[in-house]
C-alpha cells in the first residue's frame, strides 16, 4: 500500500514523550504496582526520550483479569460488524495522528522517518483495516453427516491472548497480532519489547478514544523475564503469539504447556538471496542491498546471505559494496537518512563482534563494519566476500547491517547452501530462466520465496517459517485460524 502522509516533526510526539508513561490496564493509565520505572533511549543520540512504568507479575494478573472480564463481557458478545466498525474507527484515529506515531516510532526504534513512513506505519494501517473487514466474515460450514441431523461448525474466539512483540518493528508487528486477535473477538494483554514500548502505549490510548471497550486491549511494558514470563505461565491466558528470538521462543513453548496454551512463534532467519549469473544483476544487487541494509539489517527476513553464481560473483560484490557506501547515516527525522543506528549498545557490540569473527574466520571485509561516531549506535553497512557456508557469519543470525556473499557453482550447490542453516523463514532467487527459478522456489526450505524481487510482505499472504524460524503462520486466513477454534454443533432433526 502506498499512502502519502505529510510529516512535520517535533509536534505532538514531543508532548507525548514528555508525559510519564503508565501501564494501560482496564481502560486506564495506571502506575506499576512496584512503582518502578525504566527509561527508553533514542538509539541515534543515546538520549533518554521517555520514562515508562515497569510492569511485574502483579500487573500481569490485573491485566489478564481485565482482559478476561472484557472477553466475557462486551467484546465477544458485541455484534461482529460493530467490532469491525470500532477497528476501522481506530484506524482512522491512527491516521489522524500519523505524524505523531511515526515520530515516536522513529525516535524510539532508531528508524529513519523515511522508512517508518514508507513501511511501518502504512503496513500497520493496512493490517488493521484488512482485519477490520474480517470481523463479520468469520464463518463456519454446514457439513453433511446424518439425514436426521443438521451439523455445522462455528469459529469461536480463543479467549485472552498474550502478544509479545520485538523491538525491530514494534508498531507493524504489534498490529500483526492485535488486529486479527481483536477482529476474532479475543482480548489482549500486550507486552512490547523493553527497548520500544512507546508506540504501543500511544496506539493503546487511541484504541480507547476510538471506543474499544476498557480491558479489550491492555499494555504492560516491562522485562521479558518478568512480564513475558508471567504471561506465558499465566493459567488464564489462552494463547501466546510471539515474535522474537528462537531461544525465547523455545522457553515459551515449554511455559505454555502448563495449561496447554495455543502458541504461535515468529522467530529468526538467515535468509538466502540467490543470484544466478543470467539474472538482471543491477536489479538483483539493488534489491539484495535493500534486503540486508533496510532497518540496519534488523529484519527477521533480511537477506543476510547473498549467494552468487561464479560468473557474476565479482560484479555483484562490487555493486553491493557501492550501494553500502552510498547509504546516508544521520538524523532520524531527516528524510534523506537511509541507514539508521542499530537498536542498542548491546546489539552494536554483538554486531561488531560478528565482524571480528568474520575476519578471523578468513572472510574478506570489502567495506563497512565499523562504528561511526561516538554518540548513537551507528555501524557502517558491511559487505563480506569470500564467505564459506560453514563460517559462523554464514550460519548465525547477526541482526545487523552485515551481508555475507557466498559463491556457488550450480543450482544444486545453491540449493544445498540456501537450505543449509537452522532457519527457514524466507529466500530470494534471481534468474531469467523461469523454470529454474520456480524449481528453486519449490525446493527452498522457506515460508516465503521471492522470485526476481526481495522483501515484500503483505498481510493477505501467510508469513512465518519452521524450525528456528518458528511455528505456525501469521497474516491472511492463517491468523483468523490462530485466534479462533472451530466448534461442531449437532441439531437433532427428529426430536
Q: State the sign of the Cα–Cα–Cα–Cα dihedral 394, 194, 210, 113.
A: negative
Question: All 3 cell numbers of residue 184?
Answer: 476474532
Task: Indicate which residue of 54, 103, 266, 411 is catalytic.
Answer: 266
Handedness of CA 464, 225, 180, 236 (dihedral sign): positive
Considering only 228-236, 274-282, 309-317, 369-377, which stretch makes contact with ligand NAD by CB under 6 A?
Answer: 228-236
| Binds ligand NAD by CB under 6 A, chosen from 13, 64, 232, 317 | 232
How many angstroms separate the CA atoms of 23 and 63, rounded?
Answer: 9
The residues, ordered by sequence, that sit 6+ positions from 368 with a Cβ below 8 Å of its Cβ are 324, 325, 379, 380, 381, 382, 383, 401, 402
Among 22, 168, 394, 448, binds ligand NAD (CB under 6 A): 168
> 90's torsion region: left (phi>0), alpha (psi -120 to 50) or beta?
alpha
Q: Does 244 bind ligand NAD (CB under 6 A)?
A: yes
- 291 contacts ligand NAD (rule: CB under 6 A): no
Please report where in the chains the cell 485466534 appears, as a residue: 483
Residue 226 makes contact with ligand NAD by CB under 6 A: no
Three cell numbers at 298? 534488523
Which of 378, 377, 175, 404 lies closest to 302, judged by CA? 404
Q: In this complex, which beta carbon is closest to ligand NAD, that of residue 128 or of residue 252?
A: 252
The owner of cell 560484490 is 317
CB closer to ligand NAD out of 164 and 385: 164
Contact (CB, 8 A) for 339 and 367: no
| Residue 63: half-sphere exposure toward Cβ, Cα within 13 Å | 34
Using CB under 6 A, which of 7, 75, 90, 167 touches ligand NAD? Answer: 167
Contact status: 229 vs ligand NAD (CB under 6 A): yes
Is 238 a binding residue for ligand NAD by CB under 6 A? The answer is: no
**Residue 172 within binding range of ligand NAD, rule CB under 6 A:** no
Q: Of 12-20, 63-71, 191-199, 329-337, which part binds ligand NAD (CB under 6 A)? A: 191-199
Tell me which of 263, 300, 405, 480 binds ligand NAD, using CB under 6 A.
Answer: 300
| Pairing of the two strands 262-266 and 272-275 | unpaired
Which of these segments, 114-122, 143-151, 187-195, 356-364, binds ligand NAD (CB under 6 A)? 187-195
Do residues 230 and 224 lie in contact, with contact meaning Cβ atoms separated by under 8 Å?
no
By CB under 6 A, residue 329 contacts ligand NAD: no
Which residues are within 8 A (CB) of 24 and not within 5 positions of it... i.e. 6 or more apart? 30, 201, 204, 205, 208, 217, 218, 219, 220
Q: Characterize the bridge pairing of strands 402-408 and 305-309.
A: parallel
Q: Which of 313, 399, 408, 454 binds ligand NAD (CB under 6 A)?
A: 399
Rounded least distance, CB 326 to ligand NAD, Å? 26
Residues 86-145 that bind ligand NAD (CB under 6 A): none
315 is catalytic: no
Query: Total number of residues binding ligand NAD (CB under 6 A)?
Result: 29
Instruction: Output the smallest distance, CB 269 to ligand NAD, in A.
Output: 6
Q: Which is nearer to ligand NAD, 99 or 194 (CB)?
A: 194
Per CB under 6 A, the list member of 425, 446, 479, 480 interacting with ligand NAD is 425
All 3 cell numbers of residue 63?
Answer: 491485566
Residues 246-285 that bind ligand NAD (CB under 6 A): 248, 251-252, 266-269
> Coil, helix or strand for 367?
strand
Helix (H) or strand (E) holding 306: strand 305-309
Residues known to be catalytic = 266
Which stretches of the chain bind ligand NAD, using CB under 6 A? Answer: 164-168, 173, 191, 193-194, 224-225, 228-229, 232, 243-245, 248, 251-252, 266-269, 300, 397, 399, 425, 470
Amino acid at each position: 500500500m502506498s499512502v502519502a502522509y505529510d510529516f512535520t516533526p517535533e509536534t505532538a510526539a514531543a508532548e507525548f514523550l514528555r508525559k510519564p508513561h503508565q501501564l494501560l490496564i482496564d481502560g486506564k493509565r495506571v502506575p506499576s504496582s512496584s512503582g518502578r520505572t525504566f527509561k527508553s533511549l533514542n538509539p541515534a543520540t543515546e538520549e533518554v526520550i521517555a520514562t515508562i512504568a515497569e510492569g511485574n507479575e502483579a500487573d500481569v494478573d490485573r491485566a489478564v483479569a481485565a482482559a478476561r472480564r472484557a472477553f466475557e463481557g462486551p467484546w465477544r458478545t458485541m455484534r461482529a460488524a460493530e467490532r469491525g466498525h470500532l477497528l476501522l474507527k481506530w484506524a482512522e484515529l491512527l491516521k489522524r495522528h500519523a505524524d505523531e506515531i511515526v515520530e515516536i516510532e522513529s525516535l524510539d526504534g532508531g528508524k529513519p522517518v523515511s522508512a517508518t513512513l514508507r513501511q511501518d506505519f502504512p503496513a500497520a494501517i493496512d493490517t488493521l483495516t484488512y482485519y477490520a473487514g474480517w470481523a463479520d466474515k468469520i464463518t463456519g460450514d454446514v457439513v453433511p453427516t446424518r439425514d436426521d441431523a443438521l451439523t455445522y461448525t462455528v469459529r469461536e474466539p480463543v479467549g485472552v491472548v498474550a502478544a509479545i512483540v520485538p523491538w525491530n518493528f514494534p508498531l507493524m508487528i504489534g498490529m500483526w497480532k492485535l488486529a486479527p486477535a481483536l477482529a476474532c473477538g479475543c482480548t489482549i494483554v500486550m507486552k512490547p519489547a523493553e527497548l520500544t514500548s512507546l508506540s504501543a502505549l500511544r496506539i493503546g490510548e487511541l484504541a480507547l478514544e476510538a471506543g474499544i471497550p476498557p480491558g479489550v486491549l491492555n499494555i504492560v511494558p516491562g522485562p521479558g523475564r518478568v512480564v513475558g514470563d508471567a504471561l506465558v505461565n499465566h493459567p488464564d491466558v489462552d494463547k501466546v503469539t510471539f515474535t522474537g528470538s528462537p531461544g525465547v521462543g523455545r522457553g515459551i513453548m515449554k511455559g505454555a504447556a502448563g495449561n496447554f496454551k495455543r502458541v504461535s512463534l515468529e522467530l529468526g532467519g538467515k535468509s538466502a538471496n540467490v543470484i544466478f549469473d543470467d539474472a538482471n544483476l543491477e536489479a538483483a544487487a539493488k534489491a539484495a542491498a535493500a534486503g540486508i541494509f533496510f532497518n540496519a539489517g534488523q529484519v527477521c527476513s533480511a537477506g543476510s546471505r547473498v549467494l552468487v553464481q561464479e560468473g557474476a560473483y565479482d560484479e555483484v560484490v562490487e555493486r553491493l559494496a557501492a550501494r553500502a557506501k552510498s547509504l546516508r547515516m544521520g538524523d532520524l527525522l531527516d528524510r534523506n537518512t537511509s541507514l539508521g543506528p542499530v537498536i542498542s549498545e548491546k546489539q552494536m557490540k554483538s554486531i561488531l563482534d560478528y565482524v571480528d569473527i568474520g575476519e578471523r574466520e578468513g572472510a574478506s571485509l570489502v567495506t563497512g563494519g565499523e562504528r561511526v561516531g561516538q554518540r548513537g549506535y551507528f555501524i557502517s553497512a558491511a559487505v563480506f566476500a569470500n564467505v564459506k557456508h560453514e563460517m559462523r557469519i554464514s550460519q548465525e543470525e547477526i541482526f545487523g547491517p552485515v551481508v555475507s556473499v557466498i559463491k556457488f557453482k550450480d543450482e544444486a550447490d545453491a540449493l544445498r547452501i540456501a537450505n543449509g542453516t537452522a532457519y527457514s523463514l524466507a529466500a530470494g532467487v534471481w534468474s531469467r530462466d523461469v523454470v529454474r527459478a520456480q524449481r528453486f522456489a519449490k525446493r527452498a526450505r522457506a515460508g516465503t520465496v521471492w522470485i526476481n524481487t526481495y522483501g515484500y510482505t503483505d498481510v493477505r499472504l501467510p508469513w512465518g517459517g519452521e524450525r528456528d524460524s518458528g511455528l505456525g503462520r501469521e497474516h491472511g486466513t492463517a491468523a483468523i485460524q490462530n485466534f479462533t477454534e472451530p466448534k461442531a454443533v449437532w441439531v437433532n432433526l427428529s426430536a
